[in-house]
Structure 1
Amino acid sequence: MTTLTELYDQRVAEGRLKRDAAQEAALPELERIRADLAQPVKKGLFRRAPEPPKGLYLWGGVGRGKSMLMDLFVETLSVPARRVHFHAFMQEIHAQMHRLRQQGVEDVVKPVAKGVSDSVRLLAFDEMQISDITDAMIVGRLFQQLFEAGCVVVTTSNRVPDDLYKDGLNRQLFLPFIALLKERMVVRELASDKDHRQDRLSGTQVYFTPVNAASRAKIDTLWSELTHGVEETLTLRVQGREVTLPRYHNGVARASFFDLCGRALGPADYLKLAETVRVLVIEEVPQLSRRNFNEAKRFVTLIDTLYEARVKLILQAAAAPDYLYVEGEGSFEFERTASRLHEMQAADWAGA
């Protein structure tokens, strides 16, 4: 069985990873869990199930390699496991609870948790963050049930546990969950001074024109480098609306102009998007004019939001920024947006 350290060294030798001391320092905690789960479970009529290993809460700044380490970890496992974005997992949990309520089930958390723990021995969550009060109100009971069933949890986060749901409504009711995490998981900071995701984009072309097969191929190459071929669909829910990111992995999202600006979305939706992603690829931005004035207004709001949040932008558009919106109502105001699009292309722009 390949250990995590051996796999990490192999990827470095292949040139797929750059060696990082902070990442290497985190490997023993993940290897501890892998080795424990790899031990055969001896079953007997009077034999008590062995105590599962403590999980891991790996936190640190964006681009430090947390999700990459978890991908490697899951690759080495020999037990049923699931790797999923935390936000997507909670959406699934809410959907299952809703179906059970419609069937007349009163305590819906217990059967939902049992369904999860029966299917996997380990849950690997990417980007644990809790900003939704409905998540905050059920996550404690859900995780308590999972832990009691012997399910091991490994998660990444940009926040230390004590900062989860910070300043949230009725946060005092959420504090026992933080205590539970600290009890059942080792909390470890990935304190690298390198932003590997930003390094991969530094000096790289990020604005592509026109919209054609050649520019799309270049974006495909960038996307592959950023996601390592792993992606999923992520849906963000904001005030009853849905913002769907058709392709998402490890803080990197890819969507079309129509996905983000062709629907009646507004500042709150774009703010949620900017809080969720650190790199955003937007494809097929058309020529803007009075014919698509509403879509153009949303595009301006989106770019302003991304700019303020320092999200790294990769864009495929019909024309260069200065020629993207040259006639019609709003063209004058677009000059600021064009300026920001130029600034966001700079190699030293502090995105990602």
Structure 2
Amino acid sequence: MSAPRLSDRDPRVEPDELVGAMVPPPRFDTVRFATYLPNPDEPSQAAAVEACEAFAERVSAGERGWFGSLFRKSPQDKPGLYLDGGFGVGKTHLLASIWHAVPGPKSYGTFVELTNLVGALGFAEAVRRLSAHKLLAIDEFELDDPGDTMLVTRLIKELAAAGVAVAATSNTLPDKLGEGRFAAADFLREIQSMSAKFTVVRVDGPDYRHRGLPDAPEPMTDDELTARAEGTPGATLDDFAGLCARLARLHPSRYGRLLDGVTAVHLRGVAPAPDQAVALRLVALGDRLYDRDIPVAVSGAPLSELFTEEMLRGGYRKKYLRAVSRLVALSR
């Protein structure tokens, strides 16, 4: 029997589901501060754990403790915590640990999911719902275009005024967001106003997903890939070009629902992304595959060649390197 295709699926997420669905992905269901293992050669990692624990304690202290902190002058008492660092250093682990440590109501989502929430509910309704929460955790924070910049800077301002704590992860310092992607200098005031609300915590170190591990396996032949997909219950098999075309017709916030019930993804005829739009969709899909710990097998080009050298020199370099890191880990 032929394996089903992801590109045949049509996932739907109703607006009323969106807030309730804002929880850490399955991979991070059980993570806690105690399960983060700092690299002894990278002192910033142990310091980051301490900073995150202290932040979670302040947020958990309740209305009096939290609002009191807003009026103290200590830079450690800013309404937001921003984890900055390279890929594979455990920032998402720490963000999910903050979320687990803080009592509800609370929300957790990727930057893409947050912007989609605002688009689906409308700005005022999104602010109303999120303002009732103690914490908003935002993974993969990035400003890719002027619209995102204006939307998110205003959202964070409104939520901070309502006493909501915001914790975020990113590969880019908050005052450098958008550089190399759009005319960020034109939005410098908005970006600086937002970044001033965060205490930045740096997390350094090598990518833990590849410490002492071999390179990605060689791509399979088409016949080997098909046989493996058809012999794996719950697996899917797609032509790479066809899946890329399908992703173009889906909002990235629906990519997670696209993978519901899937045990392994098989991609036939993988080739370098033809342009930036396709590449960024593949990044979003790779993040959702990683969140759900879904193995990936391919034929054609290896996953390490998914993004061209020109792309890796551009403004989205860090996103592409993170995607390669995660997809290669899944391919093992």
TM range (shorter): 0.5 to 0.7
TM-score by length of 1: 0.57
How far off its partner does 1:35 sit?
A: 1.4
Q: Does 1:27 align with 2:49?
A: yes
Aligned runs of 1:1-352 on 2, under 5 Å? 8=33, 10-11=34-35, 17=37, 19-20=39-40, 21-41=43-63, 50-52=68-70, 53-54=77-78, 55-97=80-122, 109-118=123-132, 120-192=133-205, 194-199=206-211, 201-202=213-214, 205=217, 209-210=224-225, 211-212=227-228, 242=251, 245-246=255-256, 255-257=265-267, 267-273=275-281, 277=286, 283=296, 304-306=305-307, 308=309, 309=312, 311-312=324-325, 313-314=327-328
**CA distance in structure 1 between the aligned counterparts of 2:297 and 2:83, rounded to whole angstroms:** 36
Asked if the contact 1:110/1:142 (under 8 Å) is kept, the reply is no
**Shift in CA distance, 196/248, structure 1 to aligned 2, threshold 3 Å:** farther
The CA distance in 1 between the partners of 2:87 and 2:277, in whole Å, is: 21
Deviation, 1:76, is: 1.6
Query: What is the SS of the residue equivalent to 2:201?
Result: strand
Please state how far the C-alpha of 1:57 moved relative to its aligned partner: 0.8
Change (3 A) 1:237 1:124: farther
Assess, with a 3 A threshold, how the Cα gap between structure 1 residues 89 and 248 changes in structure 2: closer, same or farther. farther
- Measured in 2, the distance between the counterparts of 1:199 and 1:140 equals 37
Structure 1: how far apart are the matches of 2:112 and 2:38?
29
Give 1:42 shift. Answer: 5.3
Structure 2 SS opposite 1:174: helix
Secondary structure, counterpart of 1:257 in structure 2: strand
Find the residue that maps to 1:94 and give its secondary structure. Answer: helix
Deviations 1:206-257 (A, max 9, x none): 756444379859x9xxxxxxxxxxxxxxxx986x7656644799xxxx7553
Q: 1:237 to 1:187 in 2, by over 3 A?
A: farther
The structure with higher relative contact order (CA 8 Å, sep 6+) is 2
Larger Rg: 1
CA distance in structure 2 between the aligned counterparts of 1:25 and 1:206, rounded to whole angstroms: 39
| Residue 335 of structure 1: aligned partner | none
SS in 1 for 2:98: helix
Q: Which amino acid aligns with 1:196?
A: Y
Q: Considering only aligned residues, what root-mean-square deviation do their CA atoms show, in Å?
A: 4.3
Question: What are the ranges of 5 or more consecutive residues in structure 1 without an aligned counterpart?
Answer: 1-6, 98-108, 220-235, 287-298, 317-343, 346-352
**Closer, same or farther in 2 for the Cα pair 1:161/1:206, shift >3 Å?**
farther
CA offset digits 1:170-209 (Å, max 9, x no partner): 53442223222332110121122x2102227535757564
Q: 1:42-96 CA distances to partner (integer Å, 9 max, x unpaired)?
A: 59xxxx9534442211111111111111122222222322121111111221222
Q: Provide the C-alpha distance between the structure 1 equivalents of 2:186 and 2:265, rounded to a whole number of angstroms.
A: 37
Query: Does the residue aligned with 1:56 lie in a helix, a strand or coil?
Result: strand
User: How many Å separate the matches in 1 of 2:303 and 2:218?
Assistant: 17
SS of the equivalent of 1:212 reads helix
Deviation at residue 273 of structure 1 after TM alignment: 3.6
Counterpart AA for 1:72: S
Cα distance 1:195–1:268, how it changes in 2: closer, same or farther (>3 A)? closer
Cα 1:149–1:248 shift into 2, 3 Å: farther
Give the number of the structure whose residues are more often strand, by fraction: 1
CA distance in 1, matches of 2:54, 2:232: 42
Q: State the SS of the aligned residue for 1:128.
A: coil
In structure 2, the CA distance between the partners of 1:41 and 1:305, relative to structure 1 (3 Å rule), is closer
Residues 35 and 283 of structure 1, relative CA distance in 2, 3 Å threshold:
closer
For the 8 Å contact 1:133–1:168, the answer to whether it is kept is: no
